Amino acid sequence: MSMKFEFPETCSEGAACGCAESDARPVAVAPAPTDVEHATVNVDPVEVGRRWFLKASAAFTTTILAPGVTLMAFGEADSAHAKPADQPVSAKQRWGLLIDAGKCEQGCKACVTACNEENGIATPKNLATDAQWIRTLQVKNPENGSTFQMPFMCQHCSEPPCVDVCPTGASFRRADGIVLVDRHICIGCRYCMMACPYKARSFVHEPLHDQKPEVPRGKGCVESCTMCVHRVDEGGTPACVEACAKTGNAAMIFGDLHDPNSEIAKRIATYRTTRVRADLGTDPGVFYQNI
Amino acid sequence: MMARITFQKLDDHSSFFWGLLAIHAVVIALGLGAFLYMEHHGHIVTGMNNAIVWGTPHVFAVFLIVAASGALNVASISSVFNNLAYKPFARLSGILAISLLIGGLMVLVLDLGRPERLTVAMTTYNFKSIFAWNIYLYTGFVVIVAAYLFTMMDRSMSKSGAATKTMGWFAFVWRLALTTGTGSIFGFLVAREAYDTALMAPLFIAASFLYGLAFTVLVLLTVCRETRTNLMSEEMIEKFRGLMIIFALSVLYFTAVKHLTSLYAAEHHGVEAFILWNGGIYTASFWLGHVLIGNVLPIVILAFLAGENKVLTGRTGIAISSVLALVGGLAFMYVTIIGGQAYPLDLLPGMEVESSFLDGVVASYTPTLPEVLLGIAGVSVAMLVTGLALKVMPFLPRAAQPE
Ligand code: SF4
Ligand code: SF4
């Protein structure tokens, strides 16, 4: 069955949060609109009370006895309120990036600027604490002095250590390979940042202002590159890829790694590509050429 | 023949006792104030950043949690290994273990980015996460030790001793799991070279023995002063002295093995040099704090300077050594937790990397007052809980009886 992770629509934190989401985690919904609507219409107050009681007692017992079950129980209840999916997220796809460092122009920051703009991230002033979803690495080979530049972001691992260690499951990998943080259940423990081998994640150290409704963020939570999931789900490409193409360098391409006819898959099948620290077994979805 | 052990509560309070409790209460208030301040402004008011994501609060929290499991030692020796000499102190050891754990957990929770979501952490659960397992190890520890205390203190149960023995075993196994779990939090981080070793767990267990004993001894000496009686006989002091020497030696042993095996693996030379040689504050914390103050000095004092007809009495010697061991313990946590993060991740082995995100450079971290206050408040919570518990229930033995 194909599933899609969705963010339901209103945020209970109101002004404090300013995002357009509910406090529920993105739930797996079956793309069966009629069933879902039906469930939402027939709300019986007794049933609501009973459900509430069940939820509460389930929460209580499972806290003590069998955690994990709750996740399923809650997921089921919440899915009744979720919007039907127009495009199912499926494991048939795996979204990925191919970045040719040979085409990345020294000093260019178009991808970084575009990412900040797209996701409502302020240009970093404090380099140690401000969020940076994408950065350019300046690389030097100490043996021969040769240098190059490459953009670097969350590698959207298919064996992501960040997801493995996350105590609440806020870090999750969608079936289509995009790794996200559900900022409504992230408790800000930062264990994922300890575990990520790529230093891909940022912790929000300060209150945020002027957030984009389609990109929920929040103080005290961890975040990282979302591969512009809000654009991808509408059939678009990530902002960095688009910006890079506009400069004429076209160092980045985005696409479905599982589709043998996609440009990205063809190129990976043709050229020698490298994945950063592939030795760690994380199976990244970001491929590099000429590094 | 051994005299029957009787127990007492603290009920005759000196200004010393109230003074101590008041100091701890003030420290806790400051810590909570620091928490509210951090919560309001965000972690920007701490020294933590995107490279050093776990700072001073974690140093204290992990230290207290590790010490908690070690504090149970005395009880374990008495009921699991049937050593009657330790029996008078078994109850104290149990309650101290619970208190230290509560102190550590409080710090851990209040340092979360979103502490108000603690309920989320308890209801949505990722079974793969060792961190999540630890939540269960910790709550389980409190419940099991409480049950263990009950079997010791309940008249009918303690008579046969069977229940106490069973619970004692259970608690003993559980505390080993707990320390292993805590050590594994670091062991699971494949990308962090400093932790890339299976020796983290045994090292943490050895350390827990030492810190737990040091806390137990210091609390005992403090209440001796309060009850104005001698709760520990000279033989007991001798026993604790021997134990502490053994524990400190084993910490040194595992430390040496851990670093020697790491040095053996060529890819870890960088991080080893950083910790052992050119890491500035981290190298200092390692050698001066962990090795010298935390282990070598206590061993020297206990083995050569303290005891009958020596410079120091056994009592003074063990008091000083306990303080040193705890100071060294904090240094050990500092170099392990913060030093391990400060060393940059190796993104492209063999290459030099630079970026706006400060890749390729040693991360800088200076603790700020609020986070230090929060950390110390954890210690005070542990001490306050112990103090109050000693007041309401008979956890303490009466004056030492000659055997
Ligand atoms: S790069 Fe880091 S944050 Fe991204 S999926 Fe991999 S482990 Fe997780
Ligand atoms: S900081 Fe958030 S996303 Fe990261 S491990 Fe903790 S709860 Fe999970």
pLDDT digits (tens, 9 = 90+) for B161-182: 788 889 999 999 998 888 888 8
A100 plus A63 within the same structural domain: no
Domain for residue B352, yes or no? no
Q: How confident is the model at residue B193 (pLDDT cuts 50, 70, 90)?
A: confident
Å from CA of A166 to ligand 2 middle? 5
Q: How confident is the model at residue B400 (pLDDT cuts 50, 70, 90)?
A: low
**A40: pLDDT strictly greater than 80:** no
A92 touches A84 (CB < 8 A): no
What average pLDDT score do residues B194-204 get?
Answer: 84
A273 touches A289 (CB < 8 A): yes
**Residue-level pLDDT at B155:** 82
Look over chain A and give the mean of its residue pLDDT values, rounded to a whole number.
Answer: 79
Domain for residue A28, yes or no? yes
Give the least confident one: B38-47, B120-129, B211-220: B120-129
**Residue-level pLDDT at A52:** 43
The owner of tokens 């995107």 is B50
For residue B197, give the 3-state DSSP assignment: coil
Instruction: Tell whether B345 is within 8 A of chain A (Cβ).
Output: yes
Q: How confident is the model at residue A101 (pLDDT cuts 50, 70, 90)?
A: very high
Domain for residue A256, yes or no? yes
**A258: pLDDT strictly greater than 50:** yes
A54 plus A153 within the same structural domain: no
Q: Residue B111 and residue B42: Cα distance in Å, rounded?
A: 10
**B276: pLDDT strictly greater than 60:** yes
Amino acid found at A184: H
The owner of tokens 């985690």 is A25
**B349: pLDDT strictly greater than 90:** yes
Q: Domain total for chain A? A: 2
**Residue-level pLDDT at A44:** 40
**A252: pLDDT strictly greater than 80:** yes
Domain for residue B351, yes or no? no
Domain for residue B399, yes or no? no
Select the more confidently predicted residue: B231 or A65: B231
A26 plus A135 within the same structural domain: no
A118 plus A252 within the same structural domain: yes
**Residue-level pLDDT at A87:** 60
What average pLDDT score do residues B378-395 get?
Answer: 94
Domain for residue A157, yes or no? yes
**B183: pLDDT strictly greater than 90:** no
A33 plus A69 within the same structural domain: yes
Q: How confident is the model at residue B3 (pLDDT cuts 50, 70, 90)?
A: low
User: Could you give the residue ranges of the DSSP H alpha helices within B45-199?
Assistant: 56-71, 73-79, 90-110, 118-123, 130-153, 155-160, 162-187
B30 touches B381 (CB < 8 A): no
Neighbour count for residue A254 (Cβ, 10 Å): 24
Domain for residue B292, yes or no? yes
A129, A138, A185: residue with CB nearest B50 = A129
Amino acid found at A241: V
Residue at which a domain ends, from A52, A81, A110 = A81
**B289: pLDDT strictly greater than 60:** yes
Q: Domain total for chain B? A: 1
A10 touches A82 (CB < 8 A): no
Give the least confident one: A3-12, A165-174, B389-398: A3-12
Considering chain B, what percentage of its residues have pLDDT values greater than 90? 64
Domain for residue B118, yes or no? yes
**B120: pLDDT strictly greater than 70:** yes
B112, B123, B190: residue with CB nearest A62 = B123
Domain for residue B219, yes or no? yes
Neighbour count for residue A102 (Cβ, 10 Å): 12
DSSP label at A82? S
Instruction: Please tell me the pTM assigned to this model.
Output: 0.87
The owner of tokens 């707990």 is B178
Domain for residue A207, yes or no? yes
Domain for residue B403, yes or no? no
Residue at which a domain ends, from A29, A47, A81 = A81
Instruction: Tell whether B122 is within 8 A of chain A (Cβ).
Output: yes
A42 plus A154 within the same structural domain: no
**Residue-level pLDDT at B187:** 76
Residue at which a domain ends, from A50, A81, A112 = A81
A102 plus A70 within the same structural domain: no
**A28: pLDDT strictly greater than 70:** no
Domain for residue A88, yes or no? no
**Which pairing describes strands A286-289 and A95-100: parallel, antiparallel, or unpaired?**
parallel
A77 plus A107 within the same structural domain: no
What average pLDDT score do residues B14-32 get?
Answer: 94
**B82: pLDDT strictly greater than 50:** yes
A125 plus A54 within the same structural domain: no
**Residue-level pLDDT at A26:** 44
* CATH number of the structural domain spanning residue B337: 1.20.1630.10
What average pLDDT score do residues A207-229 get?
Answer: 94
User: A60 lies in which domain range?
Assistant: 4-81
A145 plus A25 within the same structural domain: no
Distance, first Cα to last Cα, chain A:
39
Domain for residue A109, yes or no? yes
Name the closest ligand to CA A171.
2
Domain for residue A147, yes or no? yes
Pocket around ligand 2: residues whose beta carbon is below 6 Å from it? Answer: A 165-168, 170-171, 181, 186-192, 222
Instruction: Tell whether B15 is within 8 A of chain A (Cβ).
Output: no
What average pLDDT score do residues B350-362 get?
Answer: 96
Spatial neighbors of B158 by CB under 8 A, at least 6 apart, are B151, B152, B164
Q: Which two tokens stand for residue A277?
A: 């620290």
Ligand 1 mutation target, pool A99, A176, A276, A282, most atoms within 8 A of CB: A282
A15 plus A121 within the same structural domain: no
Domain for residue B38, yes or no? yes
Rounded to the nearest angstrom, the minimum Cα separation between B378 and chain A is: 18
Q: How confident is the model at residue A239 (pLDDT cuts 50, 70, 90)?
A: very high
What average pLDDT score do residues A250-271 get?
Answer: 97
pLDDT digits (tens, 9 = 90+) for A132-154: 999 999 999 999 999 999 999 99
Select the more confidently predicted residue: A291 or A59: A291
User: B20 lies in which domain range?
Assistant: 3-346+358-394
Rounded to the nearest angstrom, the minimum Cα separation between B141 and chain A is: 13
* CATH number of the structural domain spanning residue A149: 3.30.70.20
Å from CA of A228 to ligand 1 middle? 15
Nearest chain A residue to B355 by CA distance is: A137
Are A187 and B124 an interchain contact pair (Cβ–Cβ within 8 Å)?
A: no
A48 plus A106 within the same structural domain: no
**A11: pLDDT strictly greater than 50:** no
What average pLDDT score do residues A255-280 get?
Answer: 96
Which residues in A220-230 are b (16+ Cβ under 10 Å) and which e? bbbbbbbbbbb
Q: Which residues of A touch B120 (CB under 8 A)?
A: 168, 185, 187
- Write the residue with the smallest CA distance to atom 4 of ligand 1: A154
The owner of tokens 């069998």 is A66
B232 touches B92 (CB < 8 A): no
What average pLDDT score do residues B300-313 get?
Answer: 90
What average pLDDT score do residues A45-67 get?
Answer: 40
Select the more confidently predicted residue: B187 or B395: B395
The owner of tokens 């709760």 is B231
**A19: pLDDT strictly greater than 50:** no
Q: Residue B355 and residue B25: Cα distance in Å, rounded?
A: 46
**Which pairing describes strands B396-397 and B7-8: parallel, antiparallel, or unpaired?**
antiparallel
Q: Which two tokens stand for residue A13?
A: 């934190």
Q: Which residues of A touch B118 (CB under 8 A)?
A: 187
Strands (E), chain A: 4-6, 27-29, 95-100, 134-140, 147-153, 171-173, 179-181, 202-203, 222-223, 252-256, 286-289
Å from CA of B174 to ligand 2 middle? 26
As for the ipTM of the complex, it is 0.92
B98 touches B146 (CB < 8 A): yes
Amino acid found at B112: L
Amino acid found at B338: I
Instruction: Tell whether B260 is within 8 A of chain A (Cβ).
Output: no
